[in-house]
Every structure is written in structure tokens, then in C-alpha cells.
Amino acid sequence: MSRIGKLPVDIPAGVKVDVSGTTVKVEGPKGKLEKTFNSAVAIKVEDSQVKVSPSDSTRFANAMYGTTRSIIGNMVQGVVEGYSKDLEISGVGFQANLKGKVLNLKLGFSHDINYDIPEGVTIAVEGGTKLKVSGIDKHMVGQAAASIKKFSPVEPYKGKGVRIIGEHVIRKEGKSV
């Protein structure tokens, strides 16, 4: 049994949660989210709380109801507070520019990289080397940050590339004379 799955998700004031079957719609001050879950879990709204339980006693249902509860909790937190990830670009001549819904990245290649910003995600560029990826869907924000990082991951010798602020990068020692 999941310890996380047993905990109910509290619904704060100003947030509306609607459950129809296995589809959950969450509406709050920052926007709306909707997601359909597997039929192996039962989702109910009772007393301003969302309760998730396995619909049968299979191993799959026991695995999925904790995951479902976490995703619903992230949806509720997303429409109230939102999510953001900060990225930093380091390297000589490395920079980012925002052109409408396209992020233009100069990462030391012979060509610029144009990244189309997905719906529901906003990117702010500060000083050409700092990016702030934000939105209400935790998965979309994390995926956008990972996609940008994948263009030029941090290399271990000089530390050049795109890094998510707060992550640990192992640095290697250069040549010894």
C-alpha cells in the first residue's frame, strides 16, 4: 500500500476540482488543467479533499494510486502557485534570445538553435544567459527545461553548456603536466 496514496489532497479556497469517471479537471487562479487517469484507480471529491484509492487489489492498481495522487496534488499546486525552473547558460559567446514564441539559442555550434516554446509554458530571458521556464503544468515545465538543456549539456572540464540551477555537475581535472 502506498503511503502517499493514502493521504488526501486538500483543495484550497479558490480552486475548483471536478471529477467525472477517471478525468480530473482542476481550475484555479492561474489557469485550468485536465488529465485522464487509468481506470485502475478510483477518484472522489469529499469535504474539499480529493481522495484516491485503488479500484481493485491488483499490483498495478496499488502502484498507480500513489502516482495518481501525486499528479493530482501537482495539478492543484500548479493552478495555485505555478512551477518554474531556472537555467543558466555558460560559455564564451553562448546566449539566448526570445523572438515571439521561439527561443533562439547560440550554443557554440555553426548554426543557431530555434526552440519552439510549447503551449502552457512561458520563458523569460534575463541578460542573455539566464532563463526562467515557468507554467502551471509541472511535467511541461520540466520537459521544456530538459529539452533546452539537451541541446548543450554541461561538459565536465570547463563547465560550458546549459545547466539547471541547483543541479550538481561533476567537474573533472584537466591534464596534469
The superfamily in CATH containing domain 3-80 is: Ribosomal protein L6 (3.90.930.12)
Domain residues of the chain, as ranges? 3-80, 83-164
Q: What is the pLDDT along the chain (177 residues), one digit of tens a residue?
A: 568 888 999 999 999 999 998 899 999 999 999 999 999 999 999 989 999 999 988 899 988 989 999 999 999 999 999 999 999 999 999 999 999 999 999 999 999 999 999 999 999 999 999 999 999 999 999 999 999 999 999 999 998 999 999 888 899 988 887
Pairing between β-strand 49-54 and β-strand 41-46 as defined by DSSP bridges: antiparallel
| Architecture of the structural domain at 83-164 | Alpha-Beta Complex (3.90)
Residue 176 phi, psi (nearest 5)? -100, 135
* 31-58 core/surface letters (b: 16 or more CB in 10 A; e: else): eebebebeebbbbebeeeebbbebeeee
* pTM flag (> 0.75): yes
**30, 170, 172 from 177: Cα distances, Å:** 57, 22, 15
